[in-house]
Structure formats: structure tokens, C-alpha cells
């Protein structure tokens, strides 16, 4: 089993749609969690951290479910500019950050 797994997609959604991605992790002792966004041929950039109580940043909501060992990202009112690859990142402890392979989102008009 991979340490961090994501559905690769692509998720093809119309503008204005709500879309959600999940990311599962194998290490129950994982300490912190993040979502990154990566545009084509660019470096990944931090989208948001994921807190135990869940957190929201505008149209984006992140959730953590420790019991089931997954994190989620919800995007409401999708924009064309949301098209990108979304990477989940899990801090497994110490210096070990593990990246998922990413989920491709395509928002279409």
C-alpha cells in the first residue's frame, strides 16, 4: 500500500460546480497535512494546511478524518482558473513529507 494515495482523475467539471477530492494515508501517527496546487510545468504551491477541526479559505474547505485516515478538499463554485493538479502532503514525522501523486482537475465552461 502506498503511504499517500489520491485518485488521479481527471475530474472534469463545469464552471460553478462543487468538486471534492480525497487523499488517504497509511501512517496513523502522521502529524500534519497540507494541500498543494500545481499548475502545468510549474512548482507546487501551498494551497492550505489541514487542521483537525477542519478549515475554510474562501471557496476551499479542507477536512481531516483521523479515524479513517484521510483528508479531503472541497472546492465550491469552481472557476476555470481552478484547473490544476492538487497534491496532498502528509508529514509522517521528522523530516519526512510524503506527497500524493496528485488529482487532476479540469474546469470547463
Partner 1 sequence: SQTIHQWPATLVQPVGSPLSLECTVEGTSNPNLYWYRQAAGRGLQLLFYSVGIGQISSEVPQNLSASRPQDRQFILSSKKLLLSDSGFYLCAWRLPGNTIYFGEGSWLTVV
Residues that bind partner 1 (CB under 8 A): 32, 34, 41-46, 49, 87, 89, 95, 97-102
Q: How far is the CB of 99 from partner 1 (least distance, A)?
A: 4
Q: How far is the CB of 89 from partner 1 (least distance, A)?
A: 7
Nearby residues of 25 by Cβ (< 8 Å), 6 or more positions away: 3, 4, 5, 33, 69, 70, 71, 88, 90, 98
User: Rounded to the nearest 5°, which phi and psi values hold at 94?
Assistant: 65, -130
Coil vs helix vs strand at 92 = strand
Q: How far is the CB of 19 from partner 1 (least distance, A)?
A: 20
Q: Which three cell numbers stand for residue 37?
A: 496546487
Of 10 and 16, CB closest to partner 1: 10
| Distance separating alpha carbons of residues 14 and 44, to the nearest angstrom | 24
Of 61 and 103, CB closest to partner 1: 103
* Location of C-alpha cell 494546511: 49
Of 45 and 59, CB closest to partner 1: 45
Of 73 and 89, CB closest to partner 1: 89
Q: How far is the CB of 38 from partner 1 (least distance, A)?
A: 9
Amino acid at each position: 500500500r502506498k503511504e499517500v494515495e489520491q485518485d488521479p482523475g481527471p475530474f472534469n467539471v463545469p464552471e460553478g460546480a462543487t468538486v471534492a477530492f480525497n487523499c488517504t494515508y497509511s501512517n496513523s501517527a502522521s502529524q500534519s497535512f497540507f494541500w498543494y496546487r500545481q499548475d502545468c510545468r510549474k512548482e507546487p504551491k501551498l494551497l492550505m494546511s489541514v487542521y483537525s477541526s477542519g478549515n475554510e479559505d474562501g471557496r476551499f474547505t479542507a477536512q481531516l478524518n483521523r479515524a479513517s485516515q484521510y483528508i479531503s478538499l472541497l472546492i465550491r463554485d469552481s472557476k476555470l482558473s481552478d484547473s490544476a493538479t492538487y497534491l496532498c502532503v502528509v508529514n509522517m514525522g521528522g523530516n519526512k513529507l510524503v506527497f500524493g501523486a496528485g488529482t487532476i482537475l479540469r474546469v470547463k465552461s
